[in-house]
Amino acid sequence: MTSKRSFSAKNGIDSKQKIWMWILSILTMLLMYPAVLIIYLNRILAWYPTETPVQKRIFGYQMKEAVCDALGYRESLIFCALGVVFAIGIFSFLNNRSKVDLIKSLPVKAKKMYASEYVSGVIICLIPYLVCTLLSVAISTGWGYFTALAAKECVITFILNTIVFLIYYNLTIVCICLTGNMFVAFGGVMAVSFGPYLIVSSLEEMKYLFFKSADAYFADNGKLLAPFLYTQDFSYQIKELNDIAKEMAMILPSLIWWAVAAVILTVLSYVCFIKRPAEAMHKAIWSKSIRTIVKLILIPAAAIVVSMITYQTSAQSKWIMVVSAIITAILAGFMIEAIYSFDIRAAFKSLRSTGLGALIAIAVLVIYFFDLTGYDRYVPKSGDIESYAVETNTNMYSDFYEIEGPDGEDMSMYQGIRWINSSSYKKEHMFLNDCEAISRLAGICNEKALLEDDTLINSTNISVLYRLKSGRKVTRSIRVDLDDAESLELLNRIVKNDGFLENTFASVAQKDKLDKINAAVSYSNGVGSEPVSMNPSDIIDLWLDDAEAFDYSLGYGQFPCGVLNFTMNGGLTYQLPVYENFKATINAVKKDGSYLAAEFDAADVDRVIVTNYHNEVWENGGEYYGDPSVSETIEDPEDIKEILKNTVPSNLYKVWEGSSEGDGYSVMAFFNNEYEYSRKGESFMFRFTGDVPEWVKELTDL
């Protein structure tokens, strides 16, 4: 009876103390939702005319888009901030002695006290949010533009923002309950928010610096450890998709992880509140054991992060790295002890734990320096591999789109198309099962220590994602010696596989969809472009025949002579490189009358400007003040001819080739009106394909 009465009595007076939070929450939500919606709609009303049927259709589409954008507005940083501010506003009383005397002496159970305080913070945030969202829905419905898509955006956004709020609200409560000082608590929130990401990033960076087989292409970063930094990913992933099952498959793993994190933090905040003694106030961290644990985490973390920075800024000296790690560990230990006691004189306390922290940091460095975990020696047995994905630097463009959603004319603008980078696409779709080939390639690389061999000239690196039968995923880089017959044969086995081609070139996997949406096909030689009248799937089939017969050794060091473009609604384009020996493709394009020769006539070019970036001045830590680039204009037809012979349009440049001398140069060619595919004076960027002529080097010397 008492607790019931006290609960409501307490809430009554408490709510008066929290008026400022209500005002903050209401203003924030009004600005984030109804206000943003009105601004978006007003912009469309002001900009888009509605006089003709077409204009009306475009206006309607824009209005629907604006409603979706406004209702799906996900600014997670705002919800993080609200979580932190509300937790501080509600639970900061734990650091006020008089208030604790009052609250803790009242005849109210601690768990009821917690529930009352906790729920008030959640209500103050979510009630205005819900009301403002409903207000936005009412406004959108009033205008007649509230669609199923907008409803979905609205619901997902509400769930995401609520989870982000709960994570930070609970995290802040945990930090307040473990500490006795608001600055330390806030520092704790910041450390937990950014610390894991910083540590994981530093360890990742160390992996790439010290392990030769480390590969970033398929690697995951610390997204799960720093959720609020990555909620925007969802926006790209789920926006505009209409397949709810597929969307859920995409977002559920992360959503579940965050929801679990929110639940764990809620339980933790409750336990910390109940366990926190009243005398904890004014102490940095009240629990001795937690103080030691925090110290033993912070010291190695600080030492590793700082030593990584010094390593990279000190011409990569391992000694400097070790010394800076030791100094940082000791200083961090002193600083932590001084903060624990709020007394600089206490810096030298607990020297044993400071030393232990330094030792952990050194142990981590030693593991990386001497590869004690055998990272570089790892070669999975073919029988242990379930499937794998590879990246062989064969794709010309790393980012591409996946066609989803409705077909045909409903697919206006970017609707129904998901942006996805090639790495993620391959992780999702490429499941190669010639495990023997990849295991053997990795074995050869390891046996011959190819990653450490600086004398290899004709070689290529491939990135591999092994999916092991044990459920583990492992990423590694393998170096392939292209002069070794066995290696070349194994590599060709992998790249000629349908699974490889389909998932390396998105257009191959989605050729039927390209047909359905009537994607425009064109052929380009890197400068001009001609429409191709064939169906996308027909020309892709021919290209596949050529690609499956293609020998990697021919491709290596060779530049494409052209590119096939598949342009979708809204201007998004897929591209497929075409090589000289892609006979079936080239013959079809020629038959279609769309072929453009890869060779350029010097008579079509007025002048070229060659720029030497003089990258050599930066090599080996060199310093140069100002821009060392030297540009020269060349107008002599003979010189232009020689330059054109040694260059390709930059549109065709990024291919199966390593770095070369020409990487340090660029060539700008200005075409005249004799050339049919460009306007007079239009310019195109070219790149040298290999060695740069000596006279060009002399001409552009510093």
**Nearest distance from residue 75's CB to another protein, in Å?**
32
H/E stretch holding 674 reads: none
Contact pick of 61, 109, 216, 607 for another protein (by CB under 8 A): 109
Number of residues that make up the chain:
702
Residue 277 binding another protein, by CB under 8 A? yes
H/E stretch holding 254 reads: helix 244-275
Q: How far apart are CA 584 and CA 359, in angstroms?
A: 64
Residue 290 binding another protein, by CB under 8 A? no
Closer by beta carbon to another protein, 102 or else 244: 102
Q: Which stretch binds another protein (CB under 8 A): 10-18, 300-308, 424-432, 693-701?
A: 10-18
- Partners of 606 in beta bridges: none
Site string for another protein, 51-90 (x = CB under 8 A): ----------------------------------------
What DSSP line would sit under 468-511, residue for residue?
Answer: ETTS-EEEEEEEEETTSHHHHHHHHHHHTSHHHHHHHSHHHHTH
Q: How far apart are CA 216 and CA 199, in angstroms?
A: 16
**Nearest distance from residue 33's CB to another protein, in Å?**
31
- Which residues from 483-512 bind another protein, rule CB under 8 A? none
Q: How far apart are CA 276 and CA 286, in angstroms?
A: 8
Q: How far apart are CA 17 and CA 33, in angstroms?
A: 26
Residue 650 binding another protein, by CB under 8 A? no
Q: Which stretch binds another protein (CB under 8 A): 106-114, 173-181, 515-523, 644-652?
A: 106-114
- Partners of 476 in beta bridges: 464
The count of other CB atoms within 10 Å of the CB of residue 115 is 14
Residue 593 binding another protein, by CB under 8 A? no
Exposed/middle/buried for residue 189 (C-beta within 10 Å: 0-12, 13-18, 19+): buried
Contact pick of 13, 54, 148, 315 for another protein (by CB under 8 A): 13
Closer by beta carbon to another protein, 86 or else 168: 86
**Nearest distance from residue 288's CB to another protein, in Å?**
9
Exposed/middle/buried for residue 518 (C-beta within 10 Å: 0-12, 13-18, 19+): middle
**Nearest distance from residue 3's CB to another protein, in Å?**
6
Closer by beta carbon to another protein, 2 or else 433: 2
Closer by beta carbon to another protein, 13 or else 245: 13
Contact pick of 24, 44, 88, 108 for another protein (by CB under 8 A): 108
Exposed/middle/buried for residue 173 (C-beta within 10 Å: 0-12, 13-18, 19+): buried
**Edge-to-edge strand ranges of the sheet holding 529-532:** 529-532, 520-524, 562-567, 573-578
Closer by beta carbon to another protein, 104 or else 583: 104
- Give the list of residues 6+ apart from residue 665 with CB closer than 8 angstroms, or none: 610, 611, 612, 613, 687, 688, 692, 696, 700
What DSSP line would sit under 140-179, residue for residue?
Answer: HHHHT---HHHHHHHHHHHHHHHHHHHHHHHHHHHHHHHB
Contact pick of 27, 31, 56, 101 for another protein (by CB under 8 A): 101
Closer by beta carbon to another protein, 3 or else 316: 3
Q: Which stretch binds another protein (CB under 8 A): 43-51, 97-105, 214-222, 605-613?
A: 97-105
**Phi, psi dihedrals of residue 575, rounded to the nearest 5°:** -135, 145
497: its two tokens: 């596989």
Contact pick of 23, 31, 38, 106 for another protein (by CB under 8 A): 106
Please check whether residue 464 is in contact with residue 215, taking contact to mean a CB–CB distance below 8 angstroms: yes
Residue 279 binding another protein, by CB under 8 A? yes
- Which residues from 17-56 bind another protein, rule CB under 8 A? 17
Q: Which stretch binds another protein (CB under 8 A): 3-11, 74-82, 174-182, 620-628?
A: 3-11
Q: Which stretch binds another protein (CB under 8 A): 93-101, 229-237, 298-306, 600-608?
A: 93-101
**Nearest distance from residue 103's CB to another protein, in Å?**
8
Please check whether residue 132 is in contact with residue 34, taking contact to mean a CB–CB distance below 8 angstroms: yes
Residue 471 binding another protein, by CB under 8 A? no
Q: How far apart are CA 539 and CA 84, in angstroms?
A: 57
What are the residue ranges of helices labelled H in 72-109? 76-91, 97-105
**Nearest distance from residue 282's CB to another protein, in Å?**
10
Our CA angle for 285, 286, 292, nearest 5°, is: 60
**Nearest distance from residue 105's CB to another protein, in Å?**
4
Q: Which stretch binds another protein (CB under 8 A): 108-116, 167-175, 457-465, 476-484?
A: 108-116
Closer by beta carbon to another protein, 180 or else 227: 180
Contact pick of 56, 57, 99, 472 for another protein (by CB under 8 A): 99
> One-letter amino acid identity for 112?
K
Contact pick of 47, 49, 51, 105 for another protein (by CB under 8 A): 105
**Nearest distance from residue 1's CB to another protein, in Å?**
7
- Give the list of residues 6+ apart from residue 412 with CB closer than 8 angstroms, or none: 61, 569, 570
Closer by beta carbon to another protein, 124 or else 330: 124
Q: Which stretch binds another protein (CB under 8 A): 1-9, 223-231, 355-363, 373-381?
A: 1-9
Closer by beta carbon to another protein, 341 or else 529: 341
Among residues 587, 575, 560, the alpha carbon closest in space to that of 519 is found at: 575
Reported as half-sphere exposure (CB side, CA atoms, 13 A), residue 671 has a value of 20
Please check whether residue 643 is in contact with residue 668, taking contact to mean a CB–CB distance below 8 angstroms: no
Q: Which stretch binds another protein (CB under 8 A): 69-77, 104-112, 365-373, 505-513?
A: 104-112
Positive or negative: CA dihedral 508, 513, 517, 518: positive
Please check whether residue 329 is in contact with residue 303, taking contact to mean a CB–CB distance below 8 angstroms: yes
Q: Which stretch binds another protein (CB under 8 A): 201-209, 275-283, 379-387, 539-547?
A: 275-283
91: its two tokens: 């639970």
Contact pick of 47, 52, 54, 107 for another protein (by CB under 8 A): 107
Q: Which stretch binds another protein (CB under 8 A): 99-107, 208-216, 612-620, 645-653?
A: 99-107
Q: Which stretch binds another protein (CB under 8 A): 4-12, 48-56, 115-123, 423-431?
A: 4-12
**Nearest distance from residue 283's CB to another protein, in Å?**
8
Residue linked to tokens 């959503």 = 255
Closer by beta carbon to another protein, 97 or else 381: 97
Contact pick of 84, 100, 261, 514 for another protein (by CB under 8 A): 100
Contact pick of 12, 142, 374, 571 for another protein (by CB under 8 A): 12
Determine the number of helices (DSSP H) and then strands (DSSP E) in the chain. 25, 14
**Ramachandran assignment for 315, one of left (phi > 0), alpha (psi -120 to 50 degrees), beta (any other):** left
Beta strand 573-578 with 665-671: parallel, antiparallel or unpaired?
A: unpaired
Contact pick of 57, 104, 583, 590 for another protein (by CB under 8 A): 104
**Nearest distance from residue 345's CB to another protein, in Å?**
15
Q: How far apart are CA 670 and CA 679, in angstroms?
A: 10
Contacts with another protein: how many residues (CB under 8 A)?
29
Residue 98 binding another protein, by CB under 8 A? yes
Contacts with another protein, residue ranges (CB under 8 A): 1-3, 5-6, 8-10, 12-13, 16-17, 96-102, 104-110, 277-279
